[in-house]
Chains A and B, each alone.
Chain A
Amino acid sequence: MEFVDALINILNSTIRVSVPLLLACLAGLYSERSGVFDIGLEGKMLAGAFAGAAAAAVFASAWIGLLVAMLVSVGMALVHGFASITHRGNQIVSGVAINFIAAGSTIILGQAWFQQGGRTPSLPPEARFGAINLPGADALRDVPVIGQIYSGLLSGHSLLTYVAFLAVPFTWWVLFRTRFGLRLRAVGENPAAVDTAGISVAWLRYRAVICTGILTGMAGSYMALAQNAGFVKDMTAGRGYIALAALIFAKWRPVPAMFACLLFGFLDALAIRLQGTPLPVIGKVPVQFMQALPYVLTVILLAGFIGKAIPPRAGGVPYVKER
């Protein structure tokens, strides 16, 4: 029983750390499928977290926090869109810029507005997304295995967690079962063909980056309003890049994206759990090794040793209409 407990414990924390990865990863999926590379996920997430925490602290409402977070993230996504779609700038350069602007301004504005060394005030429970207990979770708690899984693993997460996991089938449906999704994928592979069909390439791509903004805003809100009670400087700590790695790992597909995020989340949870405890056979694993593992895995994948990850063909290339 102790083993089941420990396992459920670690899977539970896997879910918790995977949620921001998953939301950011799906965010990147929309943008990159439309042919706009986005290494600014990190920055948008950070800005979203800060805006969400600041608004939630001022208005004492988690919902206003979420809304403001999404607005700010969408705003930054639109800057990326303006640079890379309208002005055909380099998408990587633009993404790097977004990351720096977010990293700097969250600290400066946080310090100026709240005077707490770049933190936002600690949020009261009503300004956060609290845990939701699924019906019957308490009653089933003592049922071995099934009850434990239900009440220990599936129940007791915040609203955004459930939204994140529901966003996976939703994204799949949007991409592969709607007209918008078909066009979105087409514009990432062959924008000239989409243009010939009389559809605006720019407007499609703008809609894609807006979707990215909404989802990164949610990812940031999750970190500031659900996982923690407020914003701490640099709180995304590279998760945007891990999400990017997960996106490549999943070969730009929604359901594998979820599994990739869960895998990277699991590694993270395991690293925290195993800190200092020796493993059989291998001995003590350095924390740093576990931390580096997602990146190493992504590099190995990219090298084509675990299948081949082929990005959308028009990704990173600004579209220039023939004249």
Chain B
Amino acid sequence: MSTPYAKLPAWADYGLIPLINLLVAFAVAGLVVLLVGENPFRAAVILIEGAFGSGQGIAYTLYYATNFIFTGLAVAVAFHCGLFNIGGEGQAYIAGLGVGVVALTFDSVLPWWLTFPLAILAAALMGALWALIPAYLQAKRGSHIVITTIMFNFIAASVMVYMLVNVLKPVGAMAPQTRQFLEGAQLPRLGWLLTELGLKVRPSVPLNVSFLLALLMALLVWVLIWRTKLGYEIRTFGFSPKAARYAGISASRITIVTMLISGALAGMMALNPILGDQHNVPLDFVSGAGFVGIAVALMGRSHPAGIVLAAILFGMLYQGGAELSFEMPDISRDMIVIIQGLVILFAGALENMFRPTIQSIFASLSPRSVGIAATKGERA
């Protein structure tokens, strides 16, 4: 895709423009709050206090952020390859099956620190498997990966409902979920970490070791994308498939490998709610985290550091949003869905809206910072 825009200094490109886009998204969300008949500034204060005002709030914020780091990394890896993996939701959902089977098999035999690696493998494997088919179809049969991954989200939902209702549900139970896991498949919680830091946290907060796994994955993704041959190939292919082909990179191999990694990352999201919090596989445990990953990846500019920050921001919205719905009953958790949509719109689809304006400001302040002296007809 050609970029009809001139260059900006890096700090403006990676800092200023995303910040402006984000501010506009929140301003529009504020308008919605106004439309509902509440004060947007008070709402923002309640939201931030709910998320960061107490140790309890911070723990929950990080718990939600864990989900979004995984799914955000999944979307970002695919973005680097020029692929849009919109199927994180389905990949994470199906991965729950792998996690569930491992947990149900080993929870009475192994301690958690042996079950956990097995569960990670199972989650990654199932997630990757669910991404493999769309990847294969894109690479070999030319079907569009966006459409197939959307379809696979729905197929995953049907498969999981079937499995939970007809196969995994214990006999005689009412709720469509697996039995409660024993201690061998319950991840240790990390509330004590915050207590060490002097914050007051109840031991029941769901923040658990998969948060550390998420941070590790962010680091590994950075290494993969910017420090390995494979990552170089992924970026080359994403930048210019033609150039990649001339360089001898196999298009179908790189597509499939990238999607396997992406699916595996999305799949690992299942560990956090299943082993870390619920201790069973319930219906619909992903509840939109796969889609939040899109917003997170766009906002984080597909860089692991940005993704962790963006994931914490969305974790804050989830946790603070829960507090907000207590204070302002008209503003339910669905407000987050709007904010998420607006962030995707302004940080993703409309990312270039303010660029020409900012460029001309930069050009008028110091022409050299833009890299070129604005020539005739070049001004957008």
Contact = CB atoms under 8 A, between A and B. Distances in A.
Interface of A: 39, 79, 82-84, 87-94, 96-105, 107-109, 111-112, 238, 241, 244-245, 248, 286, 288-289, 291-292, 295-296, 298-299, 302-304, 309, 311, 317-318, 320, 323
A92 B1 CA distance: 14
B377 A323 contact: yes
B114 interface: no
B155 A241 contact: no
B109 interface: no
Interface string B137-154: 100011110111011101
B161 A288 contact: yes
B155 A79 contact: no
Interface string B333-354: 0111111111011001111110
Contacts of A90: 84, 348-349
Interface stretch (B30-38, B63-71, B202-210): B30-38
Contacts of A296: 151, 155
Interface in B179-195: none
Main secondary structure of the interface of B (DSSP, over half): helix
B155 A292 contact: yes
Interface in B144-175: 144, 146-148, 150-152, 154-155, 158-159, 161-162, 166
List the 8 shortest-distance A-B pairs measured between CB atoms, nearest first. A100-B341, A104-B337, A302-B143, A104-B338, A94-B349, A89-B349, A101-B341, A97-B345
Contacts of A101: 338, 341-342, 345
Contacts of A299: 133, 137, 143, 148, 151-152, 155
B150 A104 contact: no
Nearest to B348: A93
A205 to B, nearest CB: 15
B116 to A, nearest CB: 31
Main secondary structure of the interface of A (DSSP, over half): helix
B150 to A, nearest CB: 6
Given A83-B350, A108-B334, A318-B1, A304 B146 contact: no
20 contacts: A83-B345, A89-B349, A96-B341, A97-B341, A100-B344, A104-B337, A104-B341, A108-B32, A108-B331, A111-B330, A244-B147, A289-B162, A298-B147, A299-B143, A299-B148, A299-B151, A303-B137, A311-B144, A323-B377, A323-B378
Interface string B43-77: 00000000000000000000000000000000000
Contact of A107 (B1, B143, B147, B334): B334
A201 B226 CA distance: 39
A315 to B, nearest CB: 9
Given A100-B344, A101-B338, A311-B144, 19 more contacts: A83-B345, A84-B349, A87-B349, A87-B350, A89-B349, A90-B348, A97-B341, A97-B349, A100-B340, A105-B32, A108-B332, A108-B335, A245-B151, A288-B161, A289-B158, A291-B158, A302-B137, A302-B141, A303-B141
Between B84, B151, B338, B342, the greatest number of chain A beta carbons within 10 A of the residue's beta carbon is seen for B151
A244 B86 CA distance: 15
A207 B158 CA distance: 37
Given A96-B344, A99-B341, A108-B334, A39 B146 contact: yes
A104 B147 contact: no
Contacts of B338: 100-101, 104-105, 108
Contacts of A291: 154, 158
Contact of B344 (A93, A286, A298): A93
A303 B143 contact: yes
A79 B348 CA distance: 13
A302 B337 CA distance: 30
A97 B348 contact: yes
B352 A87 contact: yes
Given A87-B352, A100-B338, A320 B291 contact: no
B117 to A, nearest CB: 32
Given A83-B350, A99-B341, A323-B377, A288 B159 contact: yes
A82 B342 CA distance: 14
A303 B141 CA distance: 5
Nearest to A296: B155
B148 A302 contact: yes
Contacts of B36: 108-109, 112
A98 to B, nearest CB: 7
A92 B84 contact: yes
Contacts of A103: 334, 337, 341
Given A94-B345, A108-B338, A291-B158, A302 B144 contact: yes
B147 A108 contact: no
B286 interface: no
A88 B341 contact: no
A318 B340 CA distance: 24
Contact of B291 (A87, A100, A105, A289): A100
Contacts of A94: 345, 348-350
Contacts of A39: 146, 150
Given A83-B345, A107-B332, A92 B158 contact: no
B248 interface: no
A304 B350 contact: no
Contact of B159 (A84, A97, A98, A292): A292
Interface in B116-145: 133, 137, 141-144
A288 B4 contact: no
Between A88, A90, A291, A295, the greatest number of chain B beta carbons within 10 A of the residue's beta carbon is seen for A295
Contacts of A248: 147
A87 B380 CA distance: 11
B1 A317 contact: yes
B287 interface: no
A84 to B, nearest CB: 7
Nearest to B356: A87
